[in-house]
Structure 1
């Protein structure tokens, strides 16, 4: 397969799955396995194009985020929002700093683990969608520090590929009393520093792999990831409000079972 076609496919997978609770990392790893793409450059490629999806959030929420930034010196609410986002990402950043090599070299290499986590996470989404507690908080811009930190600790679970960063944070938020829409929106905000940090770390560790020969391929994946991410972010909140988390649960279960089938017969 042409590298350009592979870049488009992976860009679509990243953009379409980064912000929904189905595990973009798990889908990217399974897709690379199906396409027969080798490790090395394509592992770095998958991290590089995540920045495209994150840019989609920045673009769509730019006015709100810029408003927070310019009001930081004078508005306590703006400072509270910024502090809550920073607080929420500290646990995962601490774990990533300590266990980054183990996560990349051991957990990310276990396709079977990814498939199992997709399936288990699917059943969790189905259960939470049916038996979620009554929400007590519905404003992602005014999250209490306890709930922000709680969602941050839930994000740590996403270090295991197949768990889903957005899935862990949204489910965690719902379980501790955050409205589904607000939990999804706060998960978007958490993604910005989390994924930028992951991008910088992987870029630094793999800078020798990035050459002028493959920058064009990365650019294609980046753009595709950005455009598809825009579509998902614009539609996801209304979709969750209308249909809940169950459709994503069934998606995860189907993807995990297909992955196990491919792994068995491949």
Structure 2
């Protein structure tokens, strides 16, 4: 058993869980962390996607009551049926575009410079969205996910597609996009979590199946460590975020994104850090 490899897997799992549901891009952080750790070969790329499943188990645990009630009521309750339909509608745009362009994106955009640039641009978009809502607090017309229409869900699903650009942030795209589309900060965050369940489970399962030739039984400990660390850190992060957004905006995350992106670009330009391309 390679202890060093397991330590790297634990670090990557921790990074995944802490960043998956914050508007700061888990993929971007994983690419950058993998570059620093030398954990960035083809198998590592599969690992990065697969361990998202651990973070999703944390979402299911935190939102278990709502998920269970929806499943139980699904055969007879129209509200439960509409909620399930909305999640399904929002899920499909990313599936279609991911299957069509996923390979090209992975081959050409998964680089530290692209990630850093997306960090900075995304940061400015968050600042714009927050200032827009501050100037017009009544712009939020949806305060609960059960108030969403199928059209609202489709729009959020289309916005989620921007997250295929590494460094954009899936949660950032859906939360900030949802806010711009009229959802309250709480409703946008909740729907982002629910939408993450099929999106990330589907991406993880597809990646494992597609790249199964790269994997062997000997990789099980590495994936197991990553999944456990991803689950634990994501569970803590989700609980913290839900409390945080009740009294705070996302402005702090915007400044973090901008500063982090600038640091990566400067270190790459000066040669202080040799980021793997």
TM-score (norm 1): 0.96
CA drift at 1:142? 3.2
Comparing 54-63 and 78-87, the one that deviates more? 54-63
Cα deviation, 1:50-97, whole Å, max 9, x if unaligned, reads 100011001111121011011111100000000000001111111011
| DSSP 3-state at the match of 2:140 | coil
- Kept after mapping to 2: 8 A contact 1:14/1:28: yes
CA drift at 1:38? 3.5
- Kept after mapping to 2: 8 A contact 1:125/1:249: yes
Comparing 249-258 and 23-32, the one that deviates more? 249-258
1:117-136 correspondence runs (5 A): 117-132=118-133, 133=136, 134-136=139-141
Runs of 5+ consecutive residues of structure 1 not aligned to the other structure: none
In 2: Cα distance, 1:38 partner to 1:13 partner:
14
The answer to whether the aligner puts 1:176 opposite 2:177 as a matched pair is: no
In 2: Cα distance, 1:13 partner to 1:254 partner:
18
Determine the structure 2 residue equivalent to 1:113.
114
CA drift at 1:160? 0.5
Comparing 239-248 and 153-162, the one that deviates more? 239-248
CA drift at 1:3? 0.8
In 2: Cα distance, 1:237 partner to 1:60 partner:
10
In 2: Cα distance, 1:97 partner to 1:38 partner:
22
In 2: Cα distance, 1:55 partner to 1:152 partner:
21
In 2: Cα distance, 1:142 partner to 1:229 partner:
27
The answer to whether the aligner puts 1:30 opposite 2:35 as a matched pair is: no
Determine the structure 1 residue equivalent to 2:17.
15
What RMSD, in angstroms, separates the aligned Cα atoms of the two structures? 1.2
1:181-220 correspondence runs (5 A): 181-220=186-225
TM-score (norm 2): 0.93
- Kept after mapping to 2: 8 A contact 1:56/1:229: yes
In 1: Cα distance, 2:208 partner to 2:103 partner:
14
Determine the structure 1 residue equivalent to 2:54.
52
CA drift at 1:131? 1.3
Q: How many residues align?
A: 265
Comparing 204-213 and 216-225, the one that deviates more? 204-213
Cα deviation, 1:191-220, whole Å, max 9, x if unaligned, reads 011111101110111112221211101100
CA drift at 1:129? 1.1
- Kept after mapping to 2: 8 A contact 1:13/1:24: yes
Determine the structure 2 residue equivalent to 1:252.
257
Comparing 249-258 and 45-54, the one that deviates more? 249-258
Determine the structure 1 residue equivalent to 2:157.
152
Determine the structure 2 residue equivalent to 1:39.
41
Cα deviation, 1:112-164, whole Å, max 9, x if unaligned, reads 11100101101111121111242100102331222111111100101100111
In 2: Cα distance, 1:103 partner to 1:202 partner:
14
Determine the structure 2 residue equivalent to 1:66.
68
In 2: Cα distance, 1:64 partner to 1:3 partner:
38
Off by >6 Å, runs of 4+ in structure 1: none
